[in-house]
Structure 1
Amino acid sequence: MKAVVYRAFGTAEDVLSLEALASPSLAPGEVRVELAFSGVNPSDVKARAGARAGVTELPFPAIVPHSDGAGVIREVGEGVDPARIGERVWIWNGQWQRAFGTAATEICLPQEQAVPLPEGVSLETGAVLGIPGLTACHTVFSGGEVAGKTVLVQGGAGTVGFLAVQLAKWGGARVIATCAPAAMDRVLAAGADVVLDYAASDLAEQILAANQGQPVDLIVEVEFGVNAEVDTTVIAPNGRITAYGSAKAMQPVLPFYPLMFKAVTLEMALIYLLTAPQRQATVARLTRALEEGALSVPIEKVFPMDQAAAAHKAVEGGARSGAVLLQISEISMN
């Protein structure tokens, strides 16, 4: 098989190479997926650069990166229904705690990690569902239904935030989102009821005013450290803050007592480590949203497989309005 590989931490152009590797063996309970697209996420580029907290050595001698992808099942292992052969699927945790991820022409993995794509949903969209899609869905619904509630999405223009806006609206919530001014129209078009400048000096006051002076029930948070003070001010008693990032302040100051005296639930969401029941519920809900046409998944750029380094640099550069993918192959459904 062809695969993008790295054998040391470093810059994308220095360590990523396109190589021919032996095809992986298929174990009982697994499926072999021919990949069409591989999703490139910030976590993938951090892992390649050696920038993940607490990781000082390469966990495997050679790594095929990327956890997200989409393709078609071509072979099934013992114990897997042969009817799954030919099924269009999307992948989650493709390279989580494994050497070989989705930046390859094929991947073998447990069958539950290859989720059927609803009819009419593209393989490109499928390659964005593993980390951004599941993170957005979990952060919106991990505390239960949101119908009739107000959800604040901090960072509504990022891929996760953009999907979270759509999912919260689909779930029946009133949605307030923050982003840069240049992205406001796009986030409004995604379904937000109100969009505010994330850098406003009086952001907390603007959020409360946008909710008729009332605090919000749930905050989906991309930068917890930077926004902790604002979040504490605007969250309702017994509210919930679900944070999936804090890159700009990695050791945040926690306003413990103001949060405690509101009995706020603070969840640190890491989509790789969902329990099996959480994963099943989130996958099922995300599938329903896709089937009902509730999600538009933006794609910033698709790079050919031999330009994996450029794809990584595009993710590192930020300022994107959609996901970055590698095109692995043009899938035939025959």
Structure 2
Amino acid sequence: MKAIVHREAGGPDVLRLVERDLPVPGPGEVRVRVAVSGINPADTQARTRGPGGFAEITPHLDGAGLVDAVGPGVDEGRVGQRVWLFMAAAGRPTGTAAEYVVVPADQAVPLPDGVGFDVGAALGVPALTAHRALTVAEDRPRRLGPGALDGAVVLAAGGAGAVGHAVIQLARWAGATVIATVSGPAKARLATAAGAHQVVNYREGDPAAEIRGIAPDGIDIVAEVALGANLALGQAVLRTRGTISTYANDGGGPVELDVLRHMVLNARMQFLVLYTAGAQVRSAAVEDVAAAVAAGALPVGEEHGLPLVRFPLERTADAHRAVEGGAVGKVVVDVSR
């Protein structure tokens, strides 16, 4: 089979297209013929850190395809099942940038008929991260579903990004009012297409006053992508007992916290990453995201606010360059269709 590998830390040029033996699923595992591999910033960051204790790494956490073999202990009826994959390369040397990948069976989630592989490849890290961001507030449920966020106001910072897009869609599905912040008109159109009720350009005017005008009582949950740059805005619009859920610090700026203001608000600051969230939290997120997919709540494509930027497998290095260059939308690699 064809696979992308790297044996050292470095830029996209360390990625190589190679031939490898077809992997064999072990106990509790399935083998998936990958149709589409999804790329996240976490994948490019992992490449820069190198293969760790492995001789080589096939990158990418997320993807979608068809189960074509199962290991001992797995229902043989799963062969032929359409699935989406998450955390494929987490702690393992084999991710989805290959024609076939072996993963634990519970990391291959059934994808409903009629839902494309592009949707499946865009789930994983973005959707599960968004779920976590929306389920850590003190006064809100730990699970998502229709009505779970009724009455809540959610601020999706960077609403045109992959996680921001999933925050908008999941929050809408769960009944929240959603405000997205963006950097310009093009991204405003994407956030609106994703389902944001209101969009605010954080580079113009007084964004805090504009958000307060939309939500006079303040924001219940801020899903934050650039904490250092945006914390002051989050503090200015957060309601009493509100939560700032931060999953990234794009730009890498310092974080200056107004401690007294947060104390007076009884505010919650939640830092999150999927790797250490715990198996129970991840399982709940997978179940809820799967339900949202079945309900048609997580479509992708420019008309749904998440353009797809496509590359063939042999150009995976260029796909990494696109992610690192700030490509708008979801970067995917077409492995087999």
TM-score by length of 1: 0.92
Counterpart of 1:88, as a letter, is R
Q: Over aligned residue pairs, what C-alpha RMSD do you find? A: 1.6
CA contact (8 A) 2:88 2:95 kept: yes
Cα distance in 2 for partners of 1:44, 1:269 equals 17
**C-alpha distance in 2 between matches for 1:5 and 1:61:** 10
User: Within 5 Å, which residues of 2 pair with 1:274-313?
Assistant: 274-297=277-300, 298-313=306-321
Partner of 2:36: 37
SS of match in other structure, 1:95 = coil
SS in 1 for 2:265: coil
> How far apart, CA to CA, are the structure 2 residues paired with 1:97 and 1:286?
23
Q: How is 1:131-142 mapped onto 2 (pairs within 5 angstroms)?
A: 131-142=125-136
- Equivalent residues in 2 for 1:176-215, closer than 5 Å: 176-182=179-185, 183-200=187-204, 202-211=206-215, 213-215=216-218
Does the 8 A contact of 2:65 with 2:83 survive in 1?
Answer: yes
Give the secondary structure class of the aligned counterpart of 2:242: strand
The aligned runs of 1:115-264 (5 Å cut-off) are 115-143=109-137, 144=141, 145-182=148-185, 183-200=187-204, 202-211=206-215, 213-264=216-267
Aligned pairs (5 A) from 1:21-170: 21-50=20-49, 58-143=52-137, 144=141, 145-170=148-173
Which amino acid letter does the alignment assign opposite residue 85 of structure 1?
Answer: V
Distance 1:201 1:113, change over 3 A: same
How many angstroms apart in 2 are the aligned matches of 1:12 and 1:190?
A: 30
The answer to whether the 8 Å contact 1:76/1:85 transfers is yes
Residue identity in the other structure for 1:269: L
**Superposition deviation, residue 260 in structure 1:** 2.0
**Residue 57 of structure 1, CA deviation:** 7.2
- How far off its partner does 1:138 sit? 2.2
Q: Look up the match of 2:303.
A: none
1:93-152 residue CA offsets vs partner (Å, 9 max, x unmatched): 111111111111111121011111122111111111111121122212343232111111
- Tell me the distance in 2 between the aligned counterparts of 1:287 and 1:233: 34
User: Which runs of 5 or more structure 2 residues have no equivalent in the other structure?
Assistant: 142-147, 301-305
CA deviation after TM superposition for structure 1 residue 283, in Å: 1.2
Moved over 6 A (4+): none
**1:12 equivalent in structure 2:** 12
TM-score by length of 2: 0.91
Moved more, 298-307 or 198-207: 198-207
Question: d(CA) in 2 for partners of 1:258 and 1:159?
Answer: 30
What do residues 22-56 of structure 1 show as CA deviations (whole Å, max 9, x unaligned)? 23332111111111111111111122123xxxxx8
Q: Note closer, same or farther for the CA distance 1:59–1:205 as it changes in structure 2 (3 Å cut).
A: farther
Which runs of 5 or more structure 1 residues have no equivalent in the other structure?
51-55
| Amino acid of the structure 2 residue aligned with 1:203 | P
Question: Alignment partner of 2:90: what SS?
Answer: coil
Whether 2:331 is the aligned partner of 1:324: answer yes
Partners of 2:276 and 2:193 in 1: CA distance = 32
Residue 228 of structure 1 contacts residue 255 of structure 1 at CA under 8 Å; is this kept in 2? no
Q: Please give the secondary structure, in 2, of the residue aligned with 1:261.
A: helix
Kindly indicate whether the alpha-carbon contact (under 8 Å) linking 2:36 and 2:333 is maintained by their aligned counterparts in 1: yes
